[in-house]
Amino acid sequence: MATAKTLPSAQPPRPGVTLDRRVFLTGAGALAAAAFGKLASADGIKLPPLDAPSEKAKPLPRLAEPPEQRLGIAVVGLGHLTLDQIVPAFAASRSTRLVALVSGDRKKAETLAAHTGVEPKRIFDDAGFDRIKDDPAIDAVYIVLPNSMHAEYTVRAAAAGKHVLCEKPMAPTAADCEKMIDACKRADRRLMIAYRIQYEPHNRFVMKAVRDKRFGKIRVIEGFNGQNIGDPGQWRLKRALAGGGALPDIGLYCLDTCRFLLGEEPAWVSGTTFSTPGDARFKEVEETCMFQLGFPSGAVGNFTTSYGTHLSRRYRALGDAGGWIGCDPAFDYSGLAVEQSEVRGGEQLRTKPEIPEKQQFALELDHFAAAVRGKYQPYTPGEEGLQDVRIMEAIYQSARDGRRVELPRVSKLDAFRGRAPDPD
């Protein structure tokens, strides 16, 4: 059994975020209506269309599974992401349900349990975490802890016979990622990394356009992911807990999305890091990282990520046939927008396709449940997370050495991904 550590007491909700029972039971706002609407799309039930054939089709939502048949998940860690996004996602999920909580803050866990229907007997701390083995209601765990704790809790969950969905980045080092993969393979448990962008419809729209060569051969993908981080005492600014600064936390979105759009693996990387002298936030981790990725097809990725700028999250893929496509915002939890520009009839047309928004974490949860039940490799397995960590290690090496770093050549497309998600 792993040596017990104390789970960090999760940060309190942001100002204005309250543990409102209605939020957790309905999934916030419009998602509540979607949950009711699922009842109209059961197999064998058909409703006549309301609009004329000339209008855009509006398919009915798919039917949710009965609660007792859904995959039971224990959420490990009750910080901002869990309270703001993951717990509400269970209301929009068709195939999973929240059955247990794991936290170093018992009072917070009890408060949340009262709002979500989790039974008090299914509240665990570190010392009692391994008891999940004896609870058949818990099929899997969703790890939402500081990065340095991902490996330990994945290994322990696998030893307890539970499947694992783990937040990104997978772990601070490639060696830790390999331990996680090996532990889940030995236990014959599925391991999935929570790369929500690869399931999100706006980014998947861009991916299809890129791979279909709608804008010709992609020459450059450029982007930025930055935010102005606050409290110097938070775990994301502690190297021992985070493993790095802006790059593994938010720069990872640029790296992984670029690989996802192209389906290729970079053949080389180049990186530079910078921190403002005297800024107390960046004593241990980098403030800014600028990096380039070179792909076998000739495409180049050029990205900047920073903890010291005003919020901006965007990218563009630029082709050689009179057009480009991208997202702005690209990496937010909601409000994403696709932009594209192309030449038609001698005119440059810039458009914004309308793509229905979906709860990103619910999409992840439902794909995870399908992979567990189907006993197949999820689309973003541990191997996908390991590849990103290896590339980030090479970017840091490049920044230290001041030179480009060559990577092992990978010729296969989607080399580290599993079975693609089913159409929603």
Q: What does 211-228 look like in DSSP terms, one character per residue?
A: HTTBTBSEEEEEEEEEEE
Q: Does domain 200-356+382-406 have CATH number 1.20.1260.10?
A: no
Does the pLDDT value for residue 39 go beyond 50?
no
- pLDDT, mean of residues 205-233: 97
- pLDDT, mean of residues 359-374: 98
Q: Where in the chain is the domain with CATH 3.30.360.10?
A: 200-356+382-406
Decide which of 377 and 31 is more confident.
Answer: 377
C-alpha of 103 from chain center: 21
- Structure confidence at residue 10 (pLDDT): 44
> What's the longest Cα–Cα distance across the chain?
68
317: which strand partners? 221, 325
Question: Active site residue: 46, 56, 168, 179, which one?
Answer: 168
In this prediction the pTM is 0.90
**Residue 51 contacts by C-beta under 8 Å, 6 or more apart in sequence?**
58
- Structure confidence at residue 346 (pLDDT): 87
**Arch. (CATH architecture) of 21-196:** 3-Layer(aba) Sandwich (3.40)
Does the pLDDT value for residue 8 go beyond 90?
no
Per the annotation, the verdict on 168 as an active-site residue is yes
Q: Where in the chain is the domain with CATH 3.40.50.720?
A: 21-196
- Structure confidence at residue 38 (pLDDT): 41
- pLDDT, mean of residues 51-68: 84
CA-CA distance, 185 to 190, in Å (whole number)? 8
The predicted-structure confidence for 148-160, as pLDDT tens digits, reads as follows 999 999 999 999 9
Structure tokens at 421: 């998600």
CA dihedral 253, 256, 261, 267 (to 10 degrees): 140
Helix count and strand count (H, E) for the chain = 13, 15
- Of 45-49, 219-223, 314-318, 345-349, the least confident: 45-49
Mean pLDDT of the residues in the chain: 91
CA-CA distance, 265 to 414, in Å (whole number)? 8
- pLDDT, mean of residues 232-257: 98
Q: Which residues of 152-177 are buried (b: 16+ CB within 10 A; e: fewer)?
A: bbbbbbbbbebbbbbbbbbbbbbebb
- Structure confidence at residue 11 (pLDDT): 45
